[in-house]
Amino acid sequence: MKLVSWDGFILEGLLETQQYYEDPVAQIRVWVELTAPSEQRTRYSAFWDGNGTWRVRAAVTEPGLWKYSISASDKSNTDFDGKSGSFEIEKSPQIIPLLQRGRLRVGKNGSYLEHTDGTPFFYLADTAWNGILKSKPEDWDHYLSVRKEQGFTAVQCVLTHWRSFAADAHGEVAYTGTDPIAINPRFFQRLDDKVAAVNRHGLVAALVLLWACTEKDPGHYLPEREAIKLARYLVARYGAYQVIWMLGGDGDYRGEKAERWQRIGRAVFDGNDTGLVTMHPGGQHWVADEFRHESWFDFISYQSGHGDNHEHLRWLVEKYPAQQWQKQPLRPIINQEPNYEAHMSYHSREIFDAHKVRRALYWSLLVSPTAGVTYGHHGVWPWTEEAGVPLDHPGTGESPMWHESLDSEGAMSVTHLHNFFSQLRWWSLRPAPELLKEQPGRQDPSRFIAVSRAEDKSFAVAYLPAGGTVSFESPDWQPSSCRWYDPRTGQWLDRMDFSASLVAPDDQDWVLWMG
C-alpha cells in the first residue's frame, strides 16, 4: 500500500492489482487493518477507483509508526491478500474541533448524540439533498461557510442520482444498469472533495445512501443484492469522514417492508467504524419499532412533513414523537424533515413562512428529549440554479434560486435557535406536558404549547407558537424566575419573577425559560 495523502485526519492509501475483474465491486472485497502506535487496531474497507486501482481512507490522528495488513475475499489475488507493511506519520497538524473530539456516538443515557470525548453534539442540520451532486466546488464552499456561520452543525445530502437528479453536469451517472449495476468511479471522484469540504467547514455530513420514495429511486427499484453493493461502496468511500448515514431516504419501511431494509443494514454495516446510522422515512411514517433492536441502527429519525391541517399537526405534537420516546431501548429522536421554508403546504396550498418553520422546529425539539432537528428551504434542497418547480416534485411550489435563499428569515431563526439552546444543558431536557395547567392545543393544535424540563428540575423551557397565556400547575417544582426569548430576533427580555400564569409579550411566537 502506498501512502497518498494525510491531512491530519484522513489518510488515503493506494492499492493496485494486475488481476482483471469484470465487476470489481461485486467480485472482490478488500480490507485494510491499521495498527496505531498505541496498538489500537481498526479495519477499513477499501473501494475500487477504476481499472486496477483501489483506495482506502482512514481516520488517523495519532503520529508515529503505523502498521497495516491487507486481506481480500479473493484469496487468489496475491497483490492484495496477505500483504503487510508500515509507514511513518509525523506530528499531527492542528485539526478542527469537530474532528479532534472523535467519532459521534449515542450518549450514555440514550437520548442524544455525543463525541467520543463526551462532548454533546446538537444535531442542527440543513437540507441540501442535491447540494453535493449539483454544486460547483466554489459555490459549495460558499454555502458551507454561510451555514457554519449561521450555527448549523450538519448538512443532509444524497450521494447518488435519484428522481430529482438524473446525472451530473458532465453527464456522468453513479452507476449504469439495475441487475447488476456497474458503478462509475468518475462520478464519485467529482464528489470526493465536496464531501471532505463539509468536514473542513466544521460540519457533519449526513448522507443518504439509497433514496427510496418512488419507483424512480434506487432504494425502491434496485434488487437487494445490488442495493447492498452500492451502499457498501459508498460507505467504504466516505466512511472515514465525520458522517452520519441515512441508509434509506424518504421510503416506506413499515411492517413487512422493514425486513428487506433490516437485511440490507446488516450486510452494509458489518462492524467497521463508519459512523452513526439511521433511516429517513416517508412523511409521518414512524418506524422506530421496526429498527430499534437492530445492532447497526443508532437513532430514530422521522419526517413530520409538509402539511398544515389539524391532523397533520397533531401527529407531531401528540402522537408518536411525543408518546413513544420512553420505549426501550432508548434512542435519540430527530425530526429530519419538518415544514420546509418556501415550500407549498399539502393541505392549505399556502407557502410555509418562517413562523411555521420555527413552530415545527421548536415543537420537534421539545416534544421528545432534545437531540436535534433539521431545517430545509425549498430553494436549497434541490440546489435550484433557475427559479422553478423542482424536478419531479409537482405541487411543492416554485423554488427560488439557492444562493438567494441562504439568508432567509427562516435561516436566521435557526441561528437564534442555535444561540438559545447553546446556553442550556439541552441534552438534559425531557418532555414535561404535566407542568401545564391548560393546553390550548387540545382545541387548536396550531396553538400547542410544548414544555420540556431538565432531568434535575433545574430549568424548563416552553414554546408558545401564538402568544397568549401559559399557566402552570406543579406541586413538586417552583422556579424562582423566568425570561422571554424572542425566536424571531434572538433577543432576551428582562428577567421576571416566576408566576403560575404568564402572558406572552405579544401574539407572535415566544420561548420561555424558567429556572
Task: Specify whether 240 is located in the same domain as 361.
Answer: yes
Task: Specify whether 352 is located in the same domain as 264.
Answer: yes
Q: Which amino acid is at 203?
A: L
Work out the pLDDT band at 398, boundaries 50, 70, 90: very high
- Run of H or E including 249: strand 243-251
Give the closest residue to 408 by CA, choosing from 441, 444, 377: 377
Q: Per-residue pLDDT tens for 338-374?
A: 999 999 999 999 999 999 999 999 999 999 999 999 9
What long-range pairs does 90-94 form, CB within 8 A, spacing at least 24?
90/63, 91/63, 92/8, 92/61, 92/62, 92/63, 93/7, 93/8, 94/8
Task: Specify whether 417 is located in the same domain as 441.
Answer: no
Task: Specify whether 158 is located in the same domain as 31.
Answer: no
Domain's final residue, options 94, 121, 138? 94
SS3 content of the chain, % helix, strand, coil (to 5): 25, 30, 45
| CATH number of 295's domain | 3.20.20.80
| Grid cell at residue 508 | 407572535
Domain's final residue, options 428, 459, 491? 428
Strand ranges, E, within 7-93: 10-16, 30-35, 41-45, 47-48, 53-59, 64-72, 84-89
Q: What angle do CA 439, 409, 365 make, to 5 degrees?
A: 40
Task: Specify whether 244 is located in the same domain as 358.
Answer: yes
Work out the pLDDT band at 422, boundaries 50, 70, 90: very high
Say if residues 89 and 62 touch (Cβ distance below 8 Å).
Answer: yes
Task: Specify whether 119 is located in the same domain as 214.
Answer: yes
Mean pLDDT of 203-231: 98
- List C-alpha distances in Å: 157 to 160, 168, 172, 287: 9, 15, 18, 21
- Main-chain phi, psi angles of 191, to 5 degrees: -90, -20
% of the chain with per-residue pLDDT over 70: 100
Domain's final residue, options 94, 113, 135? 94
pLDDT of residue 503: 98
Task: Specify whether 439 is located in the same domain as 415.
Answer: no
pLDDT of residue 270: 77
Work out the pLDDT band at 257, boundaries 50, 70, 90: very high
Q: Per-residue pLDDT tens for 277-336?
A: 999 999 999 999 999 999 999 999 999 999 999 999 999 999 999 999 999 999 999 999
Say if residues 366 and 487 touch (Cβ distance below 8 Å).
Answer: no
pLDDT of residue 266: 96
If one counts the domains in the chain, the total is 3
Three-state SS sequence of 454-481: ECCCCCEEEEECCCCEEEECCCCCCCCE
Question: What pTM did the predictor assign?
Answer: 0.97
| CATH number of 15's domain | 2.60.40.10
Mean pLDDT of 221-247: 98
Task: Specify whether 423 is located in the same domain as 439.
Answer: no
CA 435, 373, 215, 389 dihedral sign is positive
For the cut 90, the answer to whether the pLDDT of residue 93 exceeds it is: no
Which residues are CB-contacts of 336 (< 8 A; sequence separation ≥ 6)?
125, 156, 246, 278, 280, 301, 302, 303, 374
pLDDT of residue 476: 86
Which residues are CB-contacts of 323 (< 8 A; sequence separation ≥ 6)?
none
Say if residues 460 and 515 touch (Cβ distance below 8 Å).
Answer: yes
Residues forming a β-bridge with 446: none
Domain residue limits at 64: 2-94
Say if residues 506 and 468 touch (Cβ distance below 8 Å).
Answer: no
Entry field: residues in the chain: 515
Task: Specify whether 86 is located in the same domain as 219.
Answer: no
Task: Specify whether 119 is located in the same domain as 22.
Answer: no
The DSSP secondary-structure symbol of 129 reads T
Task: Specify whether 215 is located in the same domain as 247.
Answer: yes
Provide the edge-to-edge strand list for the sheet that holds 104-106.
104-106, 113-115, 120-121
Alpha carbon 302 to its chain centroid, in Å, reads: 11
Task: Specify whether 169 is located in the same domain as 270.
Answer: yes
Distance (Å, rounded) from C-alpha 20 to C-alpha 392?
A: 40
Three-state SS sequence of 417-455: HHHHHHCCCHHHEEECHHHECCCHHHCCHHHCCEEEEEC
Work out the pLDDT band at 95, boundaries 50, 70, 90: confident
Q: Per-residue pLDDT tens for 177-194?
A: 999 999 999 999 999 999
Q: Between 274 and 1, where is the model more confident?
A: 1
% of the chain with per-residue pLDDT over 90: 95
Q: Which amino acid is at 348?
A: S
